[in-house]
């Protein structure tokens, strides 16, 4: 790996960290601009002004906003996500298991969705403008048009209510075996797969079709190579950079955009935890979960940029 490539990678990492810092400021400022008073929400409307003032002092809400931001950021850098206002529990301890649950759901969804999207994309290119391509494109276009809550409730009706194959509430806990956990997350994983499959498939198809116009593809055709072999062995490897970008974006969505699906299936992940505490106006929890979501999204996009740099032959082998 040459010095120029290493410099580009270092720039991407520095830009990602700077962006994450900017997002942390936006998250903190956004939560401070929310209407209402946290102390008043905790104590209720019948609380006396003295009690509200004492609680504000206890929570540090009487300090300037900039000082509270640096205290919060300093704690984050030391691994301290803060304390929930609603139940006085450590946020990091409460989130640990839920982060694992969200990552478990995202992992098994990706295991199914990514290879399936790439395979269907290759098939669509192989049979371009023929009935397999039209069937795949039409089905995926329909899936893109449907919101995830509609797909989720439709799957619940069909496979939980109608056929009773899977549970409508995806409850998981540490005592369950892998098979039991996979059975429990079948419907939310299927919902997320249908949501992200269409986007990845269509982008894979578009990227490979763009490469298929290259002169070396015509050379491979003149050599008598089979169409599918040309697509899989010659076109797809050279279309890997845009495909990786769209895969990483959808993997980020699996973790960041999973909130709606977790609420529908009452899945004990970060999204459900966030919604539960938003209703209680628990600002430290909202800040912590928001920053984790931002870090995952920025990190995966940064990883996609780095992979695109490393796999670019013009950068790896400069003239």
For the purposes of burial, counting CB atoms within 10 Å of the CB of 78, is it exposed (0-12), middle (13-18) or buried (19 or more)? Answer: exposed
Output the pLDDT for position 35: 64
Q: What is the pLDDT along the chain (319 residues), one digit of tens a residue?
A: 678 778 888 888 899 899 999 999 998 888 777 666 666 666 666 667 777 677 677 666 667 778 888 888 888 888 788 778 777 778 888 888 888 888 888 889 888 888 888 888 878 877 877 888 888 888 877 877 788 888 889 999 999 888 889 988 888 877 888 888 899 899 999 988 888 888 788 888 877 777 777 776 667 666 766 666 777 766 766 677 777 777 877 887 777 777 888 888 988 888 888 887 877 777 888 888 888 888 888 888 888 788 777 776 665 555 5
**What is the set of domains in the chain, with CATH numbers?**
96-280 (1.10.3720.10)
Output the pLDDT for position 127: 80
Output the pLDDT for position 217: 67
- The whole-angstrom separation of Cα 232 and Cα 216 is 14
pTM over 0.75: yes
- The whole-angstrom separation of Cα 113 and Cα 270 is 21
Output the pLDDT for position 218: 67
The residue assigned the tokens 């300037």 is 64
């Amino acid at each position: 790996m040459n010095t120029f490539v290493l410099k580009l990678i270092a720039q991407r990492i520095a830009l990602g960290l700077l962006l994450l810092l900017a997002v942390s400021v936006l998250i903190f400022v956004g939560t401070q601009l929310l209407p209402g008073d946290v102390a008043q929400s905790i104590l209720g409307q019948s609380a006396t002004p003295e009690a509200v003032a004492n609680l504000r002092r206890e929570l540090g809400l009487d300090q300037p906003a900039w000082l509270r931001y640096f205290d919060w950021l300093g704690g984050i850098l030391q691994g301290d996500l803060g304390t929930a206002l609603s139940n006085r529990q450590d946020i990091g301890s409460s989130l640990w298991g839920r982060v694992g649950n969200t990552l478990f759901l995202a992992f098994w969804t990706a295991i199914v969705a990514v290879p399936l999207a790439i395979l269907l994309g290759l098939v669509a290119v192989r049979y371009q403008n023929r009935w397999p391509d039209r069937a795949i494109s039409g089905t995926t276009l329909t899936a893109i048009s449907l919101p995830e809550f509609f797909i989720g409730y439709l799957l619940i009706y069909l496979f939980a209510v109608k056929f009773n194959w899977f549970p409508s509430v995806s409850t998981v806990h540490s005592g369950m075996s892998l098979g039991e956990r996979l059975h429990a997350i079948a419907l939310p994983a299927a919902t997320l797969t249908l949501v992200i499959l269409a986007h990845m498939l269509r982008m894979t198809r578009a990227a490979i079709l763009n490469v298929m116009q290259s002169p070396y593809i015509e050379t491979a055709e003149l050599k008598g190579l089979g169409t599918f072999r040309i697509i899989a062995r010659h076109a797809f490897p050279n279309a890997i950079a845009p495909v990786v970008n769209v895969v990483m974006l959808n993997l980020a969505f699996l973790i960041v955009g999973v909130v709606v699906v977790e609420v529908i299936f009452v899945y004990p992940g970060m999204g459900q935890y966030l919604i539960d505490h938003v209703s209680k106006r628990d600002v430290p929890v909202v800040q912590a979960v928001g920053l984790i979501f931002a870090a995952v999204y920025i990190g995966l996009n940064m990883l996609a940029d780095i992979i695109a740099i490393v796999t670019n032959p013009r950068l790896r082998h400069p003239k």
